[in-house]
């Protein structure tokens, strides 16, 4: 049976440290503020945004929510971002994705000042990540690295397989594992023999977006399994990309959903917001 990685516990310890840093900044007369933009009525986005605001309150960061209607134009949204770029109360700007289809996400991300880009989505910050210079950390991958460190799971020399090649998770995850000297492979929907690849993984990261996609026959005995998924199963219950009950019996460490990667992602967003001020 695997050790279940407690993302909430790791997040809670990290948030204590962040709270102290916020207090120190406040004692120097500085404020720490995060603008959170949500467009439309995506229920999952609403949950994420609420949790991000709750996280801010927990560590003393001021959050400013901008909830815009579905009909918002790309231009209107970019005008808001420009205004926030120049707002002194706002140190970080987060625009919750996905945006409605009529809005070009890249155009919006490119409008965010790289100095306030606490998601690390701006091409300038993505470039920093590629060369191993971390002004802002990519939140989900950085949260995963913190969890591995907390549980003393070494990455150096390990075969790391990431399933998913998104700009938000898959690609930056590969970069962080590589920086820690892992031997890294990215798999995706066109990978010829996915099972063959995943069976070679000492550390397996699933960022697919499909409920219980990773089954026990795809996992090597004793592997570390990190589940980035947030899905609903056939009964409407929250579940990850990994078939937890079965894979848990084979893995050495595994993250649950919920209570694994999710709390850490938000924690790293808070960390980036503090960094923006520091
Ligand atoms: N949508 C899903 N994950 C994220 C994230 O980390 N940041 C933003 N802005 N949107 C998301």
Residues 101 and 206 reside in one and the same domain: no
Residues 254 and 154 reside in one and the same domain: yes
Burial group, residue 185, by CB count within 10 angstroms (0-12, 13-18, 19+): middle
Residues 154 and 68 reside in one and the same domain: no
Residues 34 and 144 reside in one and the same domain: no
Pocket test for ligand 1, best of 119, 121, 229, 269 (most atoms within 8 A of CB): 119
Mean pLDDT of 167-196: 98
Nearest atom (ligand 1) to Cα of 168: 6
Per-residue pLDDT of 12-60, as tens digits, reads 999 999 999 999 999 999 999 999 999 999 998 999 999 999 999 999 9
Task: Look at residue 270 and tell me if it is in a domain.
Answer: no
The span from the CA of 230 to the CA of 206, in Å, is 11
Residues with a known catalytic role: 52, 96, 119
**Residue 96 CA to ligand 1 centre (angstroms):** 5
Task: Look at residue 6 and tell me if it is in a domain.
Answer: no
Per-residue pLDDT of 64-110, as tens digits, reads 999 999 999 999 999 999 999 999 999 999 999 999 999 999 999 99
The span from the CA of 205 to the CA of 260, in Å, is 12
**HEC assignment per residue over 87-111:** CCCCCEEEECCCCCCCCCHHHHHHH
Q: Is the distance from CB of 141 to CB of 228 less than 8 angstroms?
A: no
The span from the CA of 219 to the CA of 196, in Å, is 10
> Using alpha carbons only, how large is the chain's radius of gyration in Å?
19
Please tell me the residue having the least CA distance from ligand 1 atom 3.
97
Q: Is the distance from CB of 230 to CB of 263 less than 8 angstroms?
A: no
CATH of the domain at 74: 3.40.50.10860
Tell me which residue of 7, 18, 9 sits closest to 272, measured CA to CA.
18
**Residue 265 CA to ligand 1 centre (angstroms):** 9
Q: Which domain holds residue 38?
A: 29-113
pLDDT of the residue at 133: 87
Nearest atom (ligand 1) to Cα of 94: 9
Q: Is the CB of 139 under 6 A from ligand 1?
A: yes
CATH of the domain at 183: 3.40.50.720
* pTM of the shown model: 0.96
Q: Is the distance from CB of 242 to CB of 254 less than 8 angstroms?
A: yes
Residues 148 and 253 reside in one and the same domain: yes
In the chain, which ranges are continuous DSSP H helix? Answer: 7-27, 43-59, 74-85, 105-111, 123-130, 139-150, 170-179, 194-198, 244-247, 261-277
**Residue 149 CA to ligand 1 centre (angstroms):** 23
Q: Which residues pair with 34 in a beta bridge?
A: 63, 92
Number of domains comprising the chain: 2
């Amino acid at each position: 049976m695997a050790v279940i990685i407690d993302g909430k516990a790791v997040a809670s310890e990290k948030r204590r440290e962040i709270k102290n840093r916020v207090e120190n900044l406040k004692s120097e007369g500085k404020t720490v503020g995060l603008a959170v933009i949500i467009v439309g009525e995506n229920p999952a986005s609403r949950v994420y945004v609420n949790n991000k605001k709750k996280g801010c309150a927990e560590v003393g960061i001021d959050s400013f929510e901008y909830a815009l209607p579905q009909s918002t134009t790309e231009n209107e949204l970019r005008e808001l971002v420009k205004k926030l770029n120049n707002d002194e109360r706002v140190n970080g700007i987060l625009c919750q994705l996905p945006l409605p289809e009529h809005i070009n996400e890249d155009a919006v991300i490119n409008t965010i000042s790289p100095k306030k880009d606490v998601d690390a989505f701006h091409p300038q910050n993505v470039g920093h990540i590629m060369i191993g210079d971390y002004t802002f950390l990519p939140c989900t991958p950085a949260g995963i690295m913190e969890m591995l460190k907390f549980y003393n799971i070494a990455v150096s020399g390990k075969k790391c397989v990431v399933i998913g090649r998104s700009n938000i998770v898959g690609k930056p995850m590969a970069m962080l594992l590589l920086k820690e000297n892992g031997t890294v492979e990215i798999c995706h929907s066109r990978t010829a023999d996915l099972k063959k690849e995943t069976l070679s993984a000492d550390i397996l990261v699933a960022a697919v977006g499909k409920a219980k996609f990773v089954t026990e026959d795809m996992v090597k005995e004793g592997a570390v399994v990190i589940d980035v998924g947030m899905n609903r199963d056939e009964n409407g219950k929250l579940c990850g990309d990994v078939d937890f009950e079965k894979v848990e019996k084979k893995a050495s460490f595994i993250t649950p959903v919920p209570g694994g990667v999710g709390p850490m992602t938000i924690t790293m967003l808070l960390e980036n917001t503090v960094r923006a001020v520091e």
